[in-house]
Structure formats: C-alpha cells, structure tokens
Amino acid sequence: MKINFSKYSGAGNNFIVIDNRESFFNLAKEQISRLLDINIGIGGDGLILINKSEKYDFKIAHYTPDGNLGSLCGNGTRCGIAYAYKKSIIKIDTIFEAYDGVHNATVVDDELIEMQMKINSKITKNDYGLWVDTGSPHLIIETSNTDVIDVEKEGKLIRYSDNFKENGVNVNYVQKISDEVFKIRTYERGVEYETMACGTGSTASALCMNYIGKTTKNIIKMKCLGGDLTIKFKEKDKEYSEITHIGPAKEVFQGSFQI
C-alpha cells in the first residue's frame, strides 16, 4: 500500500502529516515508531492524521515517536491546520476536534496559524515548580539561565520520577527576558527528548508566568530553540480565557512510502 504524506515544520518541531479522512491508515505502534525514526524511516517528532469529523471540519490525531496516540500537540496541530488549508480541506477559519475537545483556528497567512488553546486544570504548585494541563500535562520550572541546563538529562529524571512516571509530564524550563519575552526549553514525554519548540508548553508557561506575577502582560512571546511562539489570553482574578497561540507551520517536502 502506498501512502502519500507531507513533512511540516512548526517552529522547529517536525511532523509527518497524512490525510486520513477515508480512514485507510491502520499502522501498528511499532510501524509508527519506525516511520518516525530518522535513521530507518522518514523521521519526525510526531505523526499527524487528518481524520474525518461528523460535526466539524476535521478531527486531528497525534502520534508520538514511541508509537502511541498522544495528547494535544500545539505545533503538530498548527502543521495539520496548514496542511488542511493547502489541500482545500478548510478555509481561512476552521473548527476542528482534537484530543481535548473542539478548537478553532485562523490561517493568518500560508505559514502562520493562530489557534485557540484551552486550560484544562487549575494551576498547582509542587516541589519542582508549577503544573497545569493545556491539552497536555506540563511542569513549569523557572530558571535564571536556560542555556546552561542539560534539558535532556534533567527533564528525563523528572519525567520518570515517582511523581510523574505513571502518566508522564512535559518539563519546561523558563527564563524571563522581559515582561513580554521569555525563553523556554522543553523535554517532551512520548518524544522522550528535548524538542525545538512546544506549543502547549509555551502556552502553559506563559499562563504560569502571569499567574505567579512574573509578568502582567497578556501577549507574551515565548522564544523556543526553533522559533518564536506568541501567546495571547485574557486574565481576571487568576482565571484565564480566550487563550490562543500563534506560530509558524511550513511545508518542508512531500513524499510517499510503501507499507
């Protein structure tokens, strides 16, 4: 069986994107993991399927390099939206289903997407920092210098600690540059290494920095290794609404593979 795909990059995160509205895609976990292995497959931080939705424009599914169905991926979803727009599956404005419910998004231009985000939990404090779910579970650790941290080593120790081993957690190290700009580096569960950017992590980090008073701004630029993401929100009495994140989504190449 021959399967066509597009490879997309979202602020340095890269994804295999496939139109699966006819529900033909039926790979085993091991096959997905092999597909995402850059040494023996196409390579990628995740696999994005554009599935059929009965009520909305499409339904998105995200698979991580371990072959498992993952939770919401902000960068991957933006790439899926850009792909759907290029393939005329959607128009400039879209409503779609994702892991944590229904989202809307707007294609700002061919390579820039603004996507609605959700906060699915309270922000809570723990021994490491702050925890919140923005479609995926995130731990936010404030630091004075993100450049000196061994994110792969330190993030893995926390992700596989007794506190988070069962369900996993994405570990974000955040450094304040100014009231409007923060640097971020992220270790992602499922991927199990440091990625170049994280959309749900940048969203979680921006909200948490506002929550603890490190900024009073409601438009925050998060500087990831692979590019900048802009987080917008409204805040009242530490409650957050109208959350969006804006970031790039660029097609790198198209291809096909044989099963």
User: Would you name the residues annotated as active-site residues?
Assistant: 73, 198
- What is the length of the chain? 259
Handedness of CA 110, 184, 99, 31 (dihedral sign): positive
Task: Specify which residues 166 forms β-bridges with.
Answer: none
Distance, CA of 47 to CA of 11 (rounded, Å): 16
168 Cβ partners below 8 Å, 6+ apart? 137, 159, 189, 190
- Cα–Cα distance list, 137 to 72, 163, 203 (Å): 10, 13, 11
**CA–CA separation, 225 and 196 (whole Å):** 5
CA dihedral 83, 52, 108, 6 (to 10 degrees): -10
SS3 (DSSP) at 120: coil
Of residues 5, 47, 43, the one with CA closest to residue 255: 5
Per the CB < 8 A criterion, the answer to whether 233 and 218 are in contact is: yes
